[in-house]
């Protein structure tokens, strides 16, 4: 079936090149953009056939009953798909496409190259056993109400058929796994067993199907449980005398960075920029903390040298900064008004943006603030939930966490982290003009490609960029406390990059990593330990925030220089966002090209 679709697309493309003279009647000639749109439609349909689980996660449920067995045959199919897509792309004249389609083109091309590289070179399936885990996607089928329960249960039943074959194939793929990913795979797979035990039983109770149906489902679930346990056992017993290091190494890291981040900078360049930026942040923070020291540390006690309780100014600048930050963090809302405080801030942010003319905020799409749904509880102070590309009527929500039920100590530590100042920066980042505003603009130029392959560095970079942009324009009245807290917040993003590159390329030890996070980025020990765990099982993703931010910021400064008096911040923001969630380097390229056109 897929072959036929591809063949049809090829015909279409050839017609556009004028090769097919008998069909090249003027009235049937299609523009390059409409050809490309047709190609995209086929491409996405083929993509979902190839990756049913990915499709389901995007809200496309046509292939819900299919579980692909990860073996050489499926890899070969993927590679063939990449090759076909690649040759179809090459047949298109990119120069003739609209800006929107140009960026879509580049993003598809990147996806294809990235997949080929993952299969042929990165080979995570050989060293990362946690890539094999079906629990999450099965859980989604039970928990997500996209269809009636009987339909979801039926697909659940059909999809379970391949679970034993899936894990048998997984065992064959693994060659020299890292210790860290092996443990992760054991924990996550065993942790997911409840899906086939308790979650499934709950669903069966709710649906109450005929006995023979329920029995058949239970029988397959039993096989699934056995297969998962067997996989965990296999990993536990695996003779792995020379395990591979979890550190990716310079070469693989550079490539993964290129594909995942799609930055105009290399990984090396970004790392150097992060190191420089950290030094700059420390310098600025010291100036502020030094000024604030008297207000927060010495003054309240009104004590003089020699008397009991006097706190001398630390000689070490980082210790001084930490001392002042700890004091300022004590200014925070009460646990029971956390949610209300966030809700109250949203209209203030909108007013500020209007007053300063920073970006147009569409009043017809107000942000829906809601209490964090139960299944997300305890994850974050606030987050944005956006509907997937196939969920046209879905709402976008600003989920705000509640601290009710938290023990006092935990709540206090959390409230200090999200203190009076950081809470405002969080709202800028997550909501306005950060993620939510970006999303509203992205939806104005809908692109299925950008919904699926949306560039994480651009999305996170924008949110991080707006934090600084708001403060630069006077948000928070230029209070030194606000700036100091902002710098601390920004330091986290910056050190994520230093940590990630340091660990995977420069062999940074755990001790040095914790020192970086605790003493240089002022993080709590628990937070730093968590970050170490994350960096030892992920690669590159931690760089997306700082890279995107740096690219957007640098680009803005470059444009300011280029345009002089003609530069307008509001226009810059609106134009930048009009391209949707595309990599910053392409947005930059297209915006600069437009500028050149205007000059001529």
Residues binding Zn ion (CB under 5 A)? 460, 463
- Of 9, 541, 110, 489, the closest CA to residue 284 belongs to 489
Q: Which is nearer to Zn ion, 67 or 431 (CB)?
A: 431
Three-state DSSP state, 368: strand
- Of 126, 2, 483, the closest CA to residue 284 belongs to 483
In contact, 332 and 419? CB cutoff 8 Å: yes
- Of 103, 108, 106, 107, the closest CA to residue 445 belongs to 103
Residue 71 neighbours by CB under 8 Å, 6+ apart = 169, 172, 173
Taking the C-alpha atoms of residue 348 and residue 480, their distance in angstroms, rounded to an integer, is: 20
Question: Least distance in Å: CB of 193 to Zn ion?
Answer: 32
Residue number of the CB atom closest to Zn ion: 463
Q: Which is nearer to Zn ion, 133 or 339 (CB)?
A: 339
Residue 29 neighbours by CB under 8 Å, 6+ apart = 16
Q: Where are the beta strands (DSSP E) in 200-306?
A: none
Q: Which is nearer to Zn ion, 213 or 411 (CB)?
A: 411
Question: Least distance in Å: CB of 281 to Zn ion?
Answer: 19
Q: Which is nearer to Zn ion, 52 or 580 (CB)?
A: 580
Q: How far out from the chain centre does Cα 484 lie?
A: 26
Question: Least distance in Å: CB of 429 to Zn ion?
Answer: 6
Residue 420 neighbours by CB under 8 Å, 6+ apart = 331, 332, 333
Question: Least distance in Å: CB of 338 to Zn ion?
Answer: 12
Question: Least distance in Å: CB of 123 to Zn ion?
Answer: 30
Question: Least distance in Å: CB of 106 to Zn ion?
Answer: 23
In contact, 573 and 441? CB cutoff 8 Å: no
- Of 64, 45, 32, the closest CA to residue 4 belongs to 45
Question: Least distance in Å: CB of 465 to Zn ion?
Answer: 11
* DSSP category for residue 304: -
From first CA to last CA, the distance across the chain in angstroms is 49
Q: Which is nearer to Zn ion, 56 or 403 (CB)?
A: 403
Question: Least distance in Å: CB of 488 to Zn ion?
Answer: 17
CA-derived radius of gyration, the chain: 27
H or E segment and range at residue 241: none
Q: Which is nearer to Zn ion, 204 or 463 (CB)?
A: 463
Q: Which is nearer to Zn ion, 187 or 326 (CB)?
A: 326
Q: Which is nearer to Zn ion, 69 or 346 (CB)?
A: 346
- Please, where are the H alpha helices in 505-524? 510-515
- Please, where are the H alpha helices in 30-71? 32-50, 52-57
Question: Least distance in Å: CB of 412 to Zn ion?
Answer: 5
By CB atoms closer than 10 A (0-12, 13-18, 19+), residue 336 is exposed
- Of 431, 423, 429, 433, the closest CA to residue 357 belongs to 433
- Inter-axis angle of helices 480-504 and 456-472, to 10 degrees? 150
Taking the C-alpha atoms of residue 490 and residue 484, their distance in angstroms, rounded to an integer, is: 10
Question: Least distance in Å: CB of 330 to Zn ion?
Answer: 6
Question: Least distance in Å: CB of 48 to Zn ion?
Answer: 27
Taking the C-alpha atoms of residue 132 and residue 67, their distance in angstroms, rounded to an integer, is: 12
Q: Which is nearer to Zn ion, 199 or 460 (CB)?
A: 460
Q: Which is nearer to Zn ion, 305 or 526 (CB)?
A: 526
Residue 549 neighbours by CB under 8 Å, 6+ apart = 460, 461, 464, 465, 468, 493
Q: Which is nearer to Zn ion, 9 or 496 (CB)?
A: 496
Q: Which is nearer to Zn ion, 46 or 460 (CB)?
A: 460
Question: Least distance in Å: CB of 385 to Zn ion?
Answer: 13
- Please, where are the H alpha helices in 304-407? 317-328, 338-356
């Amino acid at each position: 079936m897929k072959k036929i679709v591809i063949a049809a697309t090829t015909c279409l493309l050839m017609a556009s090149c004028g090769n097919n003279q008998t069909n090249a009647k003027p009235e049937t000639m299609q523009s390059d953009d409409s050809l490309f749109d047709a190609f995209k439609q086929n491409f996405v349909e083929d993509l979902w056939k190839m990756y049913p689980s990915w499709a389901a996660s995007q809200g496309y449920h046509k292939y819900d009953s299919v579980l692909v067995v990860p073996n050489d045959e499926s890899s070969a199919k993927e590679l063939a798909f990449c090759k076909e897509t690649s040759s179809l792309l090459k047949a298109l004249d990119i120069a003739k496409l609209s800006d929107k389609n140009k960026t879509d083109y580049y993003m598809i091309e990147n996806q294809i190259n990235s997949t080929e590289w993952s299969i042929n070179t990165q080979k995570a399936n050989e060293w990362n056993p946690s890539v094999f885990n079906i629990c999450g996607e099965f859980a989604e089928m039970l928990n997500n109400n996209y269809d009636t329960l009987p339909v979801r249960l039926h697909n659940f039943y059909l999809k379970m058929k391949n679970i034993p074959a899936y894990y048998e194939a997984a065992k064959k793929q693994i060659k020299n796994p890292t210790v860290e990913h092996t443990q992760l795979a054991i924990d996550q797979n065993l942790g997911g067993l409840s899906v086939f035990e308790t979650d499934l039983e709950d669903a069966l109770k709710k649906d109450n199907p005929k006995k023979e149906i329920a029995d058949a489902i239970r029988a397959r679930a039993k096989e699934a449980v056995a297969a998962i346990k067997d996989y965990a056992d296999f990993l536990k017993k695996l003779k792995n005398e020379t395990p591979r290091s979890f550190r990716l190494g310079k070469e693989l890291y550079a490539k993964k960075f290129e594909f995942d981040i799609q930055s105009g900078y290399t990984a090396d360049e970004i790392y150097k920029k992060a190191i420089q930026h950290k030094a700059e942040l420390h310098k600025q923070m010291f100036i502020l903390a030094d000024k604030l020291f008297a207000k927060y540390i010495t003054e309240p006690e009104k004590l003089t040298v020699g008397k009991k309780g006097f706190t001398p100014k630390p000689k070490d600048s980082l210790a001084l900064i930490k001392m002042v930050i700890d004091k300022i963090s004590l200014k925070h809302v009460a646990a029971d008004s956390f949610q209300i405080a966030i809700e109250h801030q949203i209209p203030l942010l909108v007013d500020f943006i209007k007053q300063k003319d920073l970006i147009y905020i569409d009043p017809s799409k107000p942000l829906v603030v809601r209490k964090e749904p139960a299944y997300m509880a305890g994850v974050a102070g606030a987050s944005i939930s956006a509907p997937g590309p196939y969920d046209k009527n879905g709402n976008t929500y600003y989920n705000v966490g509640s601290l009710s039920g938290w023990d006092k100590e935990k709540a206090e530590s959390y409230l200090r982290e999200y203190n009076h100042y950081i809470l405002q920066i969080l709202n800028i980042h997550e909501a306005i003009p950060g993620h939510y505003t970006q999303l509203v603009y992205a939806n104005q130029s809908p692109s299925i490609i950008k919904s699926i392959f949306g560039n994480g560095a651009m999305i996170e970079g924008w949110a991080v960029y707006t934090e600084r942009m708001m403060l630069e324009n006077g948000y928070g009245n230029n209070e030194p406390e606000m700036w100091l807290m902002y710098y601390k917040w920004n330091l986290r993003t910056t050190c994520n990059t230093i940590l990630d590159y340091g660990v995977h390329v420069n062999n940074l030890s755990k001790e040095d990593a914790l020192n970086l996070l605790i003493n240089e980025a002022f993080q709590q020990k628990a937070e730093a330990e968590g970050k170490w765990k994350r960096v030892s099982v992920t690669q590159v993703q931690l760089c997306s925030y700082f890279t995107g931010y740096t690219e957007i910021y640098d680009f803005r400064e470059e444009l300011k220089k280029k345009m002089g008096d003609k530069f307008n911040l509001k226009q810059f923001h609106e134009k930048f966002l009009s391209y949707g969630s595309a990599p910053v380097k392409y947005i930059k390229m297209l915006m600069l090209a437009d500028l050149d056109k205007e000059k001529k």
